[in-house]
């Protein structure tokens, strides 16, 4: 019973490049969440998605960041024109369709911008 899967686990990008982070939720889970953890800081909510819908993007930076969760395939967090301040661990979590509070996290993608 695979847990939440994320890839790549480590990603290095030069300033100005694009970063694409992927997340496959646990089997049976249809809710996906993205969180960011900056060095020496706590996790911060970014976006909450269900299949083909963005439910809450209140934590997403206004520019350069976008997220999707298509009908088929993994959820994608996309960061355009990365800057050094984007270097962080990006965690994806998933939860079952309804009535469940608990979110289960994937191993994260560590993005380094050089």
Partner 1 sequence: RKEVEQDPGPFNVPEGATVAFNCTYSNSASQSFFWYRQDCRKEPKLLMSVYSSGNEDGRFTAQLNRASQYISLLIRDSKLSDSATYLCVVRKGGGGNKLTFGTGTQLKVEL
User: Do 41 and 25 meet the contact criterion of CB atoms below 8 Å apart?
Assistant: no
Rule CB under 8 A: say whether 45 interacts with partner 1: yes
Considering only 68, 87, 96, 107, the residue that binds partner 1 (CB under 8 A) is 107
To partner 1, the closest distance from the beta carbon of 45 in angstroms equals: 4
Comparison of 19 and 49: residue with beta carbon closer to partner 1: 49
Spatial distance between the Cα atoms of 27 and 35, rounded to a whole number of angstroms? 20
Per 3-state DSSP, what percentage of the chain is helix, strand, and coil (rounded to 5)?
Answer: 5, 50, 50
Among 55, 81, 83, 114, binds partner 1 (CB under 8 A): 55
Q: In angstroms, rounded to a whole number, what is the distance separating the alpha carbons of residues 83 and 113?
A: 6
Whether a cis peptide bond, with omega within 30° of 0, leads into 8 is yes
What tokens does 108 get? Answer: 């994260």
5 forms part of the interface with partner 1 (CB under 8 A): no
For residue 64, the minimal CB distance to partner 1 (Å) is 21
Q: Which residues bind partner 1 (CB under 8 A)?
A: 31, 33, 35, 41-45, 48, 55-56, 58-59, 89, 91, 93, 95, 101-108, 110
């Amino acid at each position: 019973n695979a847990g939440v899967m994320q890839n790549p686990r480590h990603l290095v990008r030069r300033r100005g490049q694009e970063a694409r982070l992927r997340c496959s939720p646990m089997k049976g889970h249809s809710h996906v969440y993205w969180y960011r953890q900056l060095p020496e800081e706590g996790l911060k909510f970014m976006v909450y998605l269900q299949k083909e819908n963005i439910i809450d993007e209140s934590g997403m930076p206004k520019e350069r960041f976008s997220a999707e969760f298509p009908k088929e395939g993994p959820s994608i967090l996309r960061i355009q024109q990365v800057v050094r301040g984007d270097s962080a661990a990006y965690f994806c979590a998933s939860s079952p369709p309804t009535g469940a509070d608990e979110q289960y996290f994937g191993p994260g993608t560590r993005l380094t911008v050089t």
